[in-house]
Amino acid sequence: MKYIAVDVDEHGHSFFRDVDLPQQGTPQRISSKNQDVLYWKMTLSKPGHVQDFKTVPDLMILAVFSGQMNITVSNGETRHFVRGDMLVLWDTKGQGHITKVVGQEPCHVLHMAVADKGDFR
């Protein structure tokens, strides 16, 4: 299963890359291995909310439950995320990323902090 990651290079610049999460199981049901979670939280952001360049405090996995958001990395690339999308944020240092809630409805997101990249390599 592929996810989008925000990663950081040795100069502190953030960028997007595809991450493959290994799956196992049958054609009817596949799943990843269990991943340990340090903590989790839910956020609800109103349309128009902007968070300027910021790093994350820990490695994060995000799941968008409602609404839409754009993430912009330091090279200027922007990606659009909607309900059902998941992404991983590994930019714990460097310039970070910009988050902007777009569209007409609030954006409800589950944030899960993880100790390491685990199977998201």
Query: Residue 10: is it exposed, middle or buried by C-beta count within 10 angstroms (0-12/13-18/19+)?
Result: exposed
| Structure-token pair, residue 46 | 């109103």
% of residues, the chain, pLDDT over 90:
79
pLDDT digits (tens, 9 = 90+) for 52-86: 999 999 999 999 999 999 999 999 999 999 999 99
* pLDDT at position 91 over 80: yes
Q: Are strands 97-102 and 68-73 parallel, antiparallel or unpaired?
A: antiparallel
Where are the domains positioned within the chain? 2-19+41-114
**Mean confidence (pLDDT) of the chain:** 93
Q: What is the mean pLDDT of residues 5-14?
A: 96
**pLDDT for position 24:** 87
pLDDT greater than 70 at residue 119: no
Angle (nearest 5°) at CA 84 between 119 and 96: 60
pLDDT exceeds 70 at position 121: no
User: Does pLDDT of 120 surpass 80?
Assistant: no
Average pLDDT of span 19-37:
87
CATH superfamily of 2-19+41-114: Jelly Rolls (2.60.120.10)
